[in-house]
Amino acid sequence: MGARLRQGVSFLTWNIYLGADLSPLTGGLTPPAVTQVYRQFLATNFPVRAKAIASQIASRKPDLIGLQEAERWELEVPGFGTVVYDFVELLMAELKAIGLHYEAAARNHNRDVQDVQDSNGNKISFLDRDVILIRKELGLQVIDKQEVNFTTNYSGFTRGWSSVDVKLGNRVFRMINTHLEPLDFNTRNAQALELINGPAKTELPVILTGDLNLTPANPTFTALVSSGLRDVWTEVGAGFGFTGVQAPDLLNAASALNIRIDYILFKNVTIPIHADLVGEEQGDRTPAALWPSDHAGVFATFKL
């Protein structure tokens, strides 16, 4: 164990997909729109997808994982009770079943929608979260954490970031995980600047994971790189590294991944060793042909 950790520390970033296209809600949280969104969430079947995601994680065994869209959905049915789909708990249970033990080291709570009515008289709630998971048995010690919402957000959709300072032997590094705003450039740029001037402004080795919702040609990406962050895929990845996006129902026959928007960035005395993708191959799909997520994940190993 110690020899492996001295050789490198590994990270995975993956937007595991909230399970539905939320665009029907842009006109308001009306019962028909809520029903449409929730039915698609059920159809994309996260309990089954969690098995496929866990299988991909097992193929790499990352030391730390940054998850985006790690949702918590809740259906309250009068006279019956409440059904909860907690993505983090479901995924960690699947990982435990195959012999991998992770714990949630940090999580930020983002948009929180509570008790909206569907067309059937039920109440639906959903909470958006980004979470950092850490393998429990590898001697990694979390000595500090932060869980923060951005001060700049767009159209009522609160987003944020979390970080952990991790001690490994006599070394300490910082991992930051985030999900930047997809719909508005000014908001996304402001959020990136909050990261640059906040948790990434440190002399510690930094690993930044996330769905940044921007391409390498985007000015916001240029700002991140200008702050000293480096792109692991550019340095040690092979191929285009496309991570987004599959169809909302996850049933597109051929992969629709044609854009690179998910990243592992790093700075401060950190040497990249290897980077590749997870969840992008046909063989990664569930038995019902669902893609594991609408994004591929990015895996990377570093020597600190």
What is the residue extent of each domain of the chain? 2-296
pLDDT of residue 6: 47
What is the distance between the alpha carbons of residues 238 and 173, in angstroms, rounded to a whole number?
26
E-strand ranges in 155-270 read 160-168, 171-179, 206-211, 230-231, 262-267
Other Cβ atoms closer than 10 A to 144: 12
Burial bucket for residue 302 (CB in 10 Å: 0-12, 13-18, 19+): buried
> What is residue 137's predicted lDDT score, i.e. its pLDDT?
78
Q: Which CATH code is given to the segment(s) 2-296?
A: 3.60.10.10
* Whole-number Å distance between alpha carbons of 58 and 192: 31
Q: What is the pLDDT of residues 54-108, one digit of tens each?
A: 999 999 999 999 999 999 999 999 999 999 999 999 999 999 999 999 999 999 9
Intervals of the chain under pLDDT 70: 1-7
CA atoms of 242 and 230, how far apart (whole Å): 18
The per-residue pLDDT for 8 is 85
The model scores a pTM over 0.75? yes
Cα 176 from Cα 93, distance rounded (Å) = 24
| Cα-Cα-Cα-Cα dihedral sign, residues 287, 290, 292, 297 | positive
What CA–CA distances, in Å, run from 138 to 112, 135, 162? 34, 6, 21
What local confidence, expressed as pLDDT, does residue 43 receive?
98
